[in-house]
Amino acid sequence: MKSSFSVWPHRLAVLTTCATLPLLFIGGLVTSKSAGLAVPDWPTTFGYNMFLYPWSQMVGAVFYEHSHRLAGSFVGLCTIFLALALWFRERRRWLRWLGLAALAMVIAQGVLGGLRVILLQHTLAIIHASFAQAFFGFAASLAIFTSQEWRGESGEAALDDGGKLLRLAIITTAMIYLQVIFGAVLRHTGGGLEAHLLFAFLVAVHVSLLLLRVAKLFSHRPRLLRGAGFLGALLVAQLLLGLGSYFGKDTTLPRIPAEGVVYLTTIHLIVGALMLVTSLMLALRVARLSRVEKLPAEHGILREQPSI
- Summarize the confidence of residues 180-185 as an average pLDDT: 94
- pLDDT at residue 307 above 50? no
Reported as a pLDDT band with limits 50, 70 and 90, residue 1 is very low
Q: Residue 294 pairs with which residues in a beta bridge?
A: 302
Describe the chain by its helix, strand, coil percentages, rounded to 5: 75, 5, 25
pLDDT band for position 162 (cuts 50, 70, 90): confident
pLDDT of residue 258: 75
Q: What is the pLDDT of residue 128?
A: 95
- 155/193: higher pLDDT: 193
- Write out pLDDT tens, residues 213-267: 999 888 888 889 999 999 999 999 999 998 888 777 665 555 677 777 888 999 9
User: Is pLDDT at 157 greater than 70 in this prediction?
Assistant: no
Higher pLDDT, 145 or 259: 145
Question: Which is higher by pLDDT, 293 or 106?
Answer: 106
Contact status, residue 269 vs residue 121, Cβ threshold 8 Å: no
Main-chain phi, psi angles of 294, to 5 degrees: -85, 135
* pLDDT tens digits, 187-201: 888 888 899 999 999
Residue 117 has pLDDT above 60, yes or no: yes
Residue 184 has pLDDT above 50, yes or no: yes
* pLDDT reported for residue 305: 41
pLDDT score for 159: 67
Mean pLDDT on 96-108: 97
User: How far apart (Å, rounded) are the C-alpha atoms in residues 277 and 135?
Assistant: 10
Give me the chain's average pLDDT, please.
87
pLDDT for position 154: 55
pLDDT at 295: 39
201-212: per-residue pLDDT in tens?
Answer: 999 999 999 999
Provide the residue ranges of all domains of the chain, joining segments of one domain with +. 1-155, 160-292
> Among positive and negative, which fits the CA dihedral 255, 257, 260, 262?
positive
Residue 76: what pLDDT?
97
Q: What is the pTM of this model?
A: 0.89
- What are 293's strand-pairing partners? 303
pLDDT confidence of 23, banded at 50, 70, 90? Answer: very high
Q: What percent of the chain has pLDDT over 70?
A: 87
- HSE value, Cβ hemisphere, 13 Å, CA-based, for 96: 11
- pLDDT for res 156: 66
How many angstroms separate the CA atoms of 239 and 31, rounded? 21
- Give per-residue pLDDT as tens, 267-304: 999 999 999 999 999 999 998 887 544 434 434 444 43
Rounded mean pLDDT of 14-28? 96
Inter-CA distances, 302 with 10, 93, 151, Å:
18, 12, 10
